[in-house]
Amino acid sequence: MTSSNSIDSVVIRFAGDSGDGMQLTGTQFSNTSAVMGNDIATFPDYPSEIRAPSGTIAGVSGFQVHIGATEIFTPGDEVDMLVAMNPAALKANLHAVKPSGYIVVNIDAFTEKNLEKAKYAVSPLEDGSLQNYRVIQAPITSQTIEALKEVAVDSKTKDRCKNFYALGMTYYFYSRSNDTTIKWIEQKFKNKPDIIKANIAALKAGECFAENTETVISTYTVPVAKIPTGDYRQIDGNTATAWGLIRAAEMAKLPLFLGSYPITPATDILHELAKHKEFGVKTFQAEDEIAGICSAIGAACAGSLAVTTSSGPGMALKTEAIGLAISYELPLVIVNVQRGGPSTGLPTKTEQSDLFQAIWGRNGEAPLVVIAASRPNDCFASAYEAARIALQHMIPVILLTDGYIANGAEPWKIPDVSTQFGPIQHRMIDLEKIDKATFHYMNRDEKTLARPWVVPGMPGLEFRMGGLEKDIKTGCVSTDPRNHELMCHLRQKKVDLVAENIPLQTLEGADSGDLLVVSWGGTYGSCYMAVKKLQAEGKKISHMHLKYLNPMPKNVETILKNFNKIIIPELNLGQLKTVINAKFGVKAKGYNKVQGLPFKISELVEVFNQELIKE
């Protein structure tokens, strides 16, 4: 029995064992919603263990999607519908479901053995613990097998189709068309007609069950989103990062080289770039992190736009080589897709605790540029910008993203390349335009202090290379104490001058007031929405999101000192807060969380409200 309602947005989380296909299910729901015109944001949540025991909480894999009729900035706070494929999935995710929210459970999986694995003494379907939710008990496994009894596939394959049965149920509940998924199935398994038949049958069987269930439910329609017109495609952060680097190389008319070692959650950048040899992209999967960055340094020496990618543990191994690139004064883009730490930490969980490492984490005075992407669809622009700065200033640039941004997906408005992301001027020497008699590779540009980019082997332009300190005028090895101090100041000045080549900082809200919220990286969406809610209530609160972290835009200090209070929410223990207070002396406060999870909008609204009412 159903009734139909129109809603502005909905948050759905699919959860089950790693082998239950929850990532695929969530992706299909997202793709379908995007095709139907909704704005979306997703948040995949993987187990940290590669092969955690099935049926255990450690092995639960989840995928959350937020769809809406207005622009979506986060994957959502509380879950409107949880699809739990087993008891462990229910237990691991029940805390996220809003009161009176829907819970779809696969009752076939609620066996005594699975309940024991999930640490349930009594089935939650029988002990009254779910009385505050609307529970839909569905025999998903057995119904899937029944629906496929005439299909010529083995029992294991039939069982694996149960995720499409669950997907079909959610399609009915939220008035989704199955056309996009059916087309995907037909293309994905075009040489396996029985697999196509099985998956489509399971999908339609789930829709049929939902339509005919005796449970009293409501169905929902989410209207087309009211967002700026244009051509959109769904994109995740790692893919957007890879494409931004390709665009930068094309606009600089340079070959693109990536030297990298696979590491979660950065590996997909390597995978994506490896697909695009037609753009002159060269990828090298190195034997370790050190080899990865050193190969990139070699490629930069040879005249490529050079990139290396990693996460926190890999960045620790790259540290000495980063210092070498700083000493060489070479353009190099270093992408750090942050994850929980320290050491191996939480490989599949998000965190933004590598800011100190990015700004200061090297031996000696070794400054470089640090920027951070804010959303999956911002990674294209951020990667392009990192490459632009590196090439124009002859300096390494660290681009920070995180697991939340890298794995999450949202619509990306395809840019007009005739007016955006245009040509990049770099420092590569043109042998036909220089006077070899007066040229020297330590001659510097007056505005940026960048030296010329000379490729080894250019006749008549030979120069010294190495990690030892160099004479500020000749480039020869120097151990002179005064010269070393001059070189340290010069390298710092090069970073400082980047502030002349980046935009001034903007604000969302008034340029003065009671409270300024400062954010960076993947906390943008939740901070923006929380501030927007309080502004609508008439509160004197504004939001400053920092993309450029070292150096910062020239007007940041002025902005900070126009507010009575400053609060900086971070998924760490207060790293940007420490930097801001040390640099500007503004006594900013922090709100910090290190649970491997993003901020909820609701928790930030509460925190900001409390700060506003304090004397």
pLDDT tens digits, one per residue of 555-585: 999 999 999 999 999 999 999 999 999 999 9
> Which residue's entry shows tokens 């060269």?
282
How long a stretch of residues is the chain? 615
Residue 305, pLDDT above cutoff 50:
yes
Residue % of the chain over a pLDDT of 70: 99
Residue 8, pLDDT above cutoff 50:
yes
Provide the phi-psi class of 55: left if phi over 0, else alpha when psi is between -120 and 50, else beta.
Answer: left
pLDDT score, position 3: 54
Q: Give the pLDDT band (50/70/90) at residue 1.
A: very low
C-alpha 549/C-alpha 386 separation (Å) is: 12
- Each residue of 598-615: pLDDT tens digit? 999 999 999 999 999 986
> Which residue's entry shows tokens 């590491």?
263
> Which residue's entry shows tokens 């930097």?
579
Residue 287, pLDDT above cutoff 90:
yes
Q: Packing angle between helix 162-173 and helix 22-35, nearest 10 degrees? A: 30
- Please give the model's pTM, rounded to 2 decimal places: 0.93
- The region of weakest confidence among 34-48, 141-155, 390-404, 579-593 is 34-48
Residue 71, pLDDT above cutoff 90:
no
Q: Give the pLDDT band (50/70/90) at residue 333.
A: very high
Residue 296, pLDDT above cutoff 90:
yes
- Each residue of 501-525: pLDDT tens digit? 999 999 999 999 999 999 999 999 9
Residue 401, pLDDT above cutoff 70:
yes
Structural domains of the chain sorted by starting position, each given as residue range(s) with its CATH number in brackets: 2-221 (3.40.920.10), 231-501 (3.40.50.970), 513-613 (3.40.50.920)
Q: Considering the chain, what is the average pLDDT of its residues?
A: 94
- Whole-angstrom CA distances from 155 to 146, 151, 169, 204, 504 are 11, 10, 22, 19, 61
Q: Give the pLDDT band (50/70/90) at residue 447.
A: very high
- Each residue of 193-227: pLDDT tens digit? 999 999 999 999 999 999 988 665 678 889 888 88
Average pLDDT over residues 293-298: 98
pLDDT score, position 229: 84
Q: Give the pLDDT band (50/70/90) at residue 103.
A: very high
Whether the CB-CB separation of 519 and 572 falls below 8 Å is answered with no
Which pairs from 417-420 meet CB under 8 Å and 24+ separation? 417/247
Query: Which parts of 276-426 are beta strand (E)?
Result: 281-285, 305-310, 332-338, 369-372, 396-402, 409-413
Q: Give the pLDDT band (50/70/90) at residue 458.
A: confident
Residue % of the chain over a pLDDT of 90: 85
- The region of weakest confidence among 110-114, 215-219, 279-283 is 215-219
- Each residue of 40-63: pLDDT tens digit? 999 998 887 777 788 999 999 999
Residue 2, pLDDT above cutoff 80:
no
Output the six-digit token pair for 235: 């994109």
Closest CA to 273 of 403, 160, 387, 126: 387
Q: How many Å separate Cα 28 from the centre of its chain?
A: 19
